[in-house]
Amino acid sequence: MLLSGILCFAQDSYQSIILKKELTEHANAVIRDENIQIEIEDVDKMTVTTKRVVTVLNKYGNGFVRAYDFYDDGDAKIKSQSAYVYNKMGAEIKKYKQRDFKDQSAVGSSNLYSDNRVSYLDYSPMSYPYTVVYESEVQMSTTVFIQPFHPVDGYYVSVESSKYQLKNPNHIPVRYLEANLDSIQLEKNNTDFEISYAVKNIPAYKYEPYSPQISEMTPKVKVALNRFSLMGVEGTAENWKEFGKWQYENLIKGRDELYSSTQAEITELVKGVETDYEKAKLIYEYMQGKTRYISVQLGIGGWEPILATEVDRVGYGDCKGLTNYMKALLASQGIKSNYAVVYAGDEQKDIDPDFASMQGNHVILNVPGIAEEDVWLECTSQSLPFNYLGDFTDNRHVLLIKEDGGEIVKTPNYECDINLEETLCEIGLSEDAFTASIKKQSKGIPYGNNYHIQAQKDKDQNLYYKEVFGNLQGIHFDHLSFENDKEQASFSEELEFTGKKFYTTAGNRILLPLNFIEPEIDMVSRNEDRLYPVEILRGFTNNDQFNFKIPEGYAVEALPEAISIETDFGSFKLSVQSSQDDPNILVVKRSVSVKQGQWPAAQFGDFREFLNKINMLSNQKAVLVKNG
């Protein structure tokens, strides 16, 4: 009877039907029980034991199961791994032993070779809800990465219970940094050398448009050792200066030597060039033309650049190798530069200035002293202009790894007046069709988003523009041409096309929509219970002019009034009038400017009103009437 009771209790605990309403509201999955135990046995020996119980409520919650672990031959070994799957009543329906897990490379197809692998549960649910119990033990020699306590995985997942414990019997000095712990049920038991957290009953975070990254709002504790090991290379650091110094001495130093023939080639390349800025630009274009990006992640090579001479010989490398190679090429001409570690991606994730640890997923090059402001180089691209980063690494804290230690600085910010798109449209109207000639220029972030169009095949260009002009029917492109001014980071597009009429008739009148190109502004729904701040990561300015050629035999009967709106979030201007040079041409000028910034949730209503006004006012119509 005792055994039967234990089994019954175990099954009941995994029943989905007993979940509290506050945990299922807005949730696609519920983390029922997560227990992370990290034992630091030595500077170069760590064991991580995981138990994760997740109930998946619907198909959108499958990604929260996270029943996997990473390993490689030289550093991390999975000692044990198992999973159990239960139905909604808590009955076991599937069992997986370690040999049943799927195994594959943990990196993408752009990697030439890598020893990073992942062992993962491959389960396809037959029905919902279901529960997965995942357990594993992983032993590793690298201790420079300590898994943080981060109980909330994303939007639409709640947490019933999550525990985190770091054991440190040898009393290796440890640091931690807490964030967003104030408003949750928390038990904390930390000492000078050990860490313990437990949280309960965290409701799911519901996504709200124009809000900060969820990682900035959810509970998190970052953890690092002051003495650590990376693939057998030991180090000591408590701050960014010390951490950068360790990286320079152990990962960067001595890897920037060049063949004498390459040095001579670069010297000849810049012969007669007066400024270091122009020299650096020529050298960057030389590097782009000679190399291509292929990732290499074997052993410590996942963090250490391959030798500059090797990149020079084979003509390829990953971000570390190519950046180090560019650094070496500049150094051959006496131009100093700094290896810079960054979190790449359009979400603008920072290297945390307040917490020194192994961070980042990409490397770029910082070149100080050759212009009024530092020059920044993305060394993995064969097409980006000199000193242009775009939204891959803009406006975020990065770590400069210098000979005298690390330094946290920020990459350039592309503000709203720099992120500029200007469009001039000449539109000819007839009773059943239109012709259009468009000239468009993009700068700042839009330059990086648009210049790739030039390299696409004709078919793909046509598909792209049909999507851009999705509000127009039956369009056919007669001419497409482009100009990529890399000196100014400016991209120009010229298009000529025809299409079916996009306006309506009412008797002897034409109702002419004035937004020939729709503004890139989404309509925003009302939310009286807004919780999160309003955030615009990147501001922008769009200036559009539409010159409508009025059909023969028609005249203007009514036009919308000019309007100008100024708010904390940006501005909007619209004017409609007949051309002074030709009364048969209707000139529409529209300017939209949205600022970068963050505002409290209480201002969401005003923000929503601003965006929706842009859409509403852009959708106004002119009335043309047939003469006689």
CB of 517 within 8 A of CB of 469?
yes
Indicate the pairing of strand 29-42 with strand 157-167. parallel
Residue 59's Cβ-count burial label (10 Å; 0-12, 13-18, 19+) is exposed
Tell me what pLDDT residue 116 has: 79
Distance CA 305, CA 314 (A): 14
Distance CA 524, CA 611 (A): 7
Tell me the domains of the chain and their CATH numbers. Answer: 2-233 (2.60.40.3140), 237-410 (3.10.620.30), 420-626 (2.60.120.1130)
Distance CA 246, CA 236 (A): 7
Give the pLDDT confidence of 297-309 residue by residue, as tens digits: 544 557 899 999 9
Tell me what pLDDT residue 8 has: 41
Nearest-CA neighbor of 69 among 116, 19, 124? Answer: 116
Distance CA 518, CA 620 (A): 12
Nearest-CA neighbor of 283 among 408, 418, 188, 379? Answer: 379
Q: How many C-beta atoms lie closer than 10 Å to residue 42's C-beta? A: 13
User: Residue 507 to residues 135, 550, 556, 576: CA-CA distances in angstroms?
Assistant: 73, 17, 15, 23
Distance CA 428, CA 143 (A): 67
User: Residue 608 to residues 70, 209, 534, 563, 593: CA-CA distances in angstroms?
Assistant: 43, 10, 10, 18, 15
> Cα 66 to the chain's mean position, in Å?
21
486 token code pair: 């890399």
CA angle 510, 514, 517 (to 5 degrees): 130
| Contact partners, residue 463, CB within 8 Å, separation at least 6 | none
Burial 128-153 (b: 16+ CB within 10 A, else e): bbbbbbbbbbbbbbbbbbbebbbbbb
CB of 315 within 8 A of CB of 292?
yes
| Three-state secondary structure call for residue 154 | coil
Tell me what pLDDT residue 520 has: 84
Tell me what pLDDT residue 114 has: 53
Distance CA 151, CA 149 (A): 6
| Contact partners, residue 403, CB within 8 Å, separation at least 6 | 248, 253
Distance CA 159, CA 147 (A): 18
Tell me what pLDDT residue 107 has: 67
Tell me what pLDDT residue 75 has: 86
| Contact partners, residue 197, CB within 8 Å, separation at least 6 | 149, 163, 164, 165, 186, 187, 188, 221
Indicate the pairing of strand 295-297 with strand 111-114. parallel
Task: Give the pTM.
Answer: 0.92
Tell me what pLDDT residue 522 has: 84
Helix 276-290 with 260-269: angle, nearest 10 deg: 120
Nearest-CA neighbor of 537 among 155, 205, 212? Answer: 212
Nearest-CA neighbor of 169 among 36, 41, 37? Answer: 41
Tell me what pLDDT residue 299 has: 46
| Three-state secondary structure call for residue 580 | coil
Tell me what pLDDT residue 225 has: 98
299 token code pair: 């052993």
> Cα 200 to the chain's mean position, in Å?
30
User: Residue 14 to residues 31, 33, 90, 126, 159: CA-CA distances in angstroms?
Assistant: 11, 10, 5, 17, 14
User: Residue 477 to residues 29, 438, 474: CA-CA distances in angstroms?
Assistant: 47, 11, 10
Positions of the chain with pLDDT under 70: 1-12, 107-115, 296-301, 628
Tell me what pLDDT residue 295 has: 74
DSSP annotation of 553 reads T
| Three-state secondary structure call for residue 98 | helix
Report how far apart the first and last C-alpha atoms of the chain are (Å, whole number). 99
